[in-house]
Each structure stands twice: as structure tokens, then as C-alpha cells.
Amino acid sequence: MKYLYILCLFFVASLLSLGAQGYDKSCYYGITFVVSENPSWGYGELVITGVEPNSPAEKSGIKVDDIIMEINGKATYLRDNQTIANWLFNVYDPVVTFTIRNLNTYFKEYTLNRRCIALNSVNEKELSDIFSFYSLENTNQRAFTLPLRVEPNAEVDYADYHTYDFQRDDNPTAVDLQITALLEKTLQARGLVRDTKDPEIIIQAYYNYDSNPQYTGLENNPSITSKVWRFDSDKKEMVQLPILDPNEYNIQAKGQYLAEFGFSFYDRKYIDETRLTQIWDCSIKDYLSTKYSFEEYLKLHIPLMFMEYPYVTAKTEVKYVVDFNGYNYTGMYFNADDLTTVSDVDEGSPAFAAGIRAGYVIKKINNKKFQHTKEKLSEGYKRFIDVTTIYRDQTTRFTNADGYADCMFWNPAFYGDIAKEFNKSSNLTNFSYLYDFEKYVNPNPSDRITIEAWDGMQTRIFQVTPTIRRSVVVKSL
């Protein structure tokens, strides 16, 4: 299988890439950022592009698209990378204060302690991604594309806009009222405030949902009735909708129904007080194979559309990646060279509380021996995937973000057989403890993990009570 070859390369590359630095510790704050080149959002400053789930940064309230104006009171505007790095990783002070602005505030300070771990380490989140086929139900990446047309105004700074209201309508329909409610809910979640007296932005929505006048009914292709996958922000899951793939050939003649929706932002305060000036517009147009509730269509798509505001450039389509993750967290990091040595342990974590420390060598986890090389572990993982394919549920088939089309969840009717495969020593399922809370991994799930480790002087037994960490992260590319 071509996928398994790619999987093997990914496995090895994932481990080796972690040891490419030349220092004893790797430090981070739980965020990633770029220097913005977008004139409409944080130009020349640092814009946050990612916030690590369960990190102090996330818990403090820092969000994607926040602009870092200052680091320890020093302006980030047009600073070079080396200067920024010196501020963030001053060897004498592990505490940094970020001054941030966004759609909700002009100025707010967040103080974070950096976390430093031993280089060449693999954490349990990374291991859950590497071994995701143990439990695709918990860990998988999905991708989908929306036919969005996004038109920003490059001459305005969206950081100036914090309040809004809607275009007046004396006779709103039920759909109008629903759109207003959905937009208001989404805008407030992004930090904008409704001001009916003196708003900075006026929002106007437009839509059309009707039979497609171009539909011919002449096509007799089973693929036309296929459904596309999209993300439901309320349910936090992927759902199938009776919408034609936007890349379907001659789509205009194949869709029985047409759904169109969009909204525009108009400046009413800063550019020209005598007239409204459009500063942003986002719209979507879909062809449907069968009739589908327009109310449900709007509920699902409005939150996704708003992910394009405010840090965006002009687009005619948008790709989204959804990272689903759930795993047993103990706080252990493993040495990437052998994956048997504990290279670091989070202070205050379940493993730390149980007494496990950096340098300990794992002998067994849940009675599974840790006697392997990276190569053997990879071979065992490929073998496990091959022999357990027959236990997958064909009706759950989906394509992951890497383009592999044969991802499937486990068939509940075979949980007992699957558990036996997990327990075969030849499959080297050492890291299945990450999903030990599932019956197909352990028929009798326990809230504790038994770890046998060599501490340098003797072999010791530790009872660790992990916590299940779950996250769903959606990114637009």
C-alpha cells in the first residue's frame, strides 16, 4: 500500500525532525506567530497563527489572529527576527508579558511563563498523531474546501473597528431574523460589540435559496448525489451535506437547488461620513443535489465564513483543516532516538505526581514490553494497520487531510478481535496506552496506567492516573 509507505516515512521524519536543534532545551509559549505583511491587520507586527490546546496561552484567553504589539513593553513593529527571539528567550528571565490587541480590545497584557523541554523529545500529543490509526475515532485530521469569495479592502485597518449594527429593515422575514441572530452570535464570539446608536460598521446580508434555473435533469451520474463533508461548529464534528463538490464538471446543470449567501461590512465613521463605504465582503454559492434546510445551511456556514475576518487576503476558495484529538495525557516526553527513555516530564502532571522523572527507562506500560527500535516500531504499526483492516466499518470511510481515502472507524461488532490484535506482541502496540480508555484497546478500561521503569538503580512500578485531553482545532489556509 502506497499509504503505508508514506506513513512509515512520516513516522521516521516526525521523530528525526525533533532532534534537529543544537541546544539542550527547546522552549515555547504555546503559540505560533508570523510577522504580518497584511496592511489591514497588524502590518509589521506579530499575528498569532496558532494556539496550542491545553497550553497556558490558551487558558489565558489568547486567540488566533491576536496582534502582539509589545513584548515586555517593547514594540514589535518592524523588529527583526533575532531581536524578537532575544526578547522571548532571554536566558535570565522565563516570564514574558505580551501586549495584545484584537477585535475586542485596543490594549491588553498577558503574562506567560515559557515551557522548556529536553531536545529530541516527543510528547504524547505528537505520539497520538503518529499512531492515530489506533483510534481514528479520537485522532484524525480532516480537510474540506468552501467556494468562498472573500473581498477585503486593503486600504483600511480592521483593528479600528470594534462596534457594528445591521442595515435597517422595516419588514424582516423569518430568514432575515435568523440571519441577524446568527451573525450577532458569531460577531460577539469574535469580540465585536453591537451598537445601535453609533456603530463603526454597518452589516448587510444577502441571500437566495431556490430551485436552480440551470438544472437540466439530463445527467444520470450516481456521483451527482454524493455528499460533501463540512464542519459543524456547534456539534464539533464533520457532517455530510447534499451539496455537490464545487469542482464537479458542469455543476451548474447538475444541482437541483442553489444556495447563495453573503454579507458585507460598510464603514460609516472613518472614511466618508456622508456615505457608506464597503470594506469587506464574503459570499458562498453552492449547488445542492437535493433539498436541504436553508436554516441548517446558514447555521453551519456562517461561523466558517467569519473565520476569514480580519486577517485575510482576497480569495475565491478557502481550504479548512480540522484537527480532532483525544488521548491519555500523563505528561511524559520520550526520547526520539529510542522511544523508551523518558526525556522530560511536565511538572504537576499525572506522571510527575506518580514519581516518574526524566532519565527513567520504560520497561513496560500496561504489561507491554518496551523492547524496540524506531524501525521495528514502525514495522509493527504498519503490520497492525494491515491485519486489522477487516475490522473497520466500511460505512464510516472518509479521506483524511493527507489525502488517504480509506480511513475508517472500528466496527463495534469486532471490538473483542481488535483488542486481541492490540495485545499481540508482534504488533508492538506499545503506545496504545494513549487510547486505553476505549474498549477496542482495552476490554476492561481502567482509569490507571501501570508503568514499569528503570530509575538508574532499580526497576520500579508506578500507577499513573492520566487525564483524557480532547481538542478540536479548525484552521483556514
Averages of pLDDT over runs of 10 residues in the chain (477 residues) are 36 37 73 95 96 92 96 96 89 88 93 91 96 98 97 94 94 94 95 95 96 80 70 96 90 92 95 92 95 95 96 94 98 95 96 98 96 90 96 96 95 98 95 97 94 97 98 95
Q: Which residue has 447555521 as its cell numbers?
A: 299
In the three-class reduction of DSSP (H, G, I as helix; E, B as strand; rest coil), residue 247 is classed as coil
* Cis omega (within 30 of 0) for bond into 310: yes
pTM: 0.90
| 364-418 residue pLDDT tens | 999 999 988 888 999 999 999 999 999 999 999 999 999 999 999 999 999 999 9
- The per-residue pLDDT for 424 is 94
Q: What pLDDT was estimated at residue 440?
A: 98
Contact present, 312 and 148 (Cβ < 8 Å): no
pLDDT at 250: 86
**What interhelical angle do 294-306 and 174-189 show, nearest 10?**
30
- What's residue 2's pLDDT? 36
- How far is it, in rounded angstroms, from Cα 462 to Cα 68? 43
User: Which pLDDT value is given to residue 224?
Assistant: 52
Residue 273 confidence (pLDDT): 83
Q: Is the dihedral of CA 396, 400, 404, 410 positive or negative?
A: negative
Domains of the chain listed by start with CATH number: 25-118 (2.30.42.10), 121-139+324-476 (2.30.42.10), 148-316 (3.30.160.670)
Q: Look up residue 13 and give its amino acid.
A: A
Name the strands in the sheet holding 193-194, side by side, starting at the edge strand that comes first in the sequence. 148-152, 277-288, 257-267, 201-211, 163-166, 193-194
pLDDT at residue 15, rounded to an integer:
38
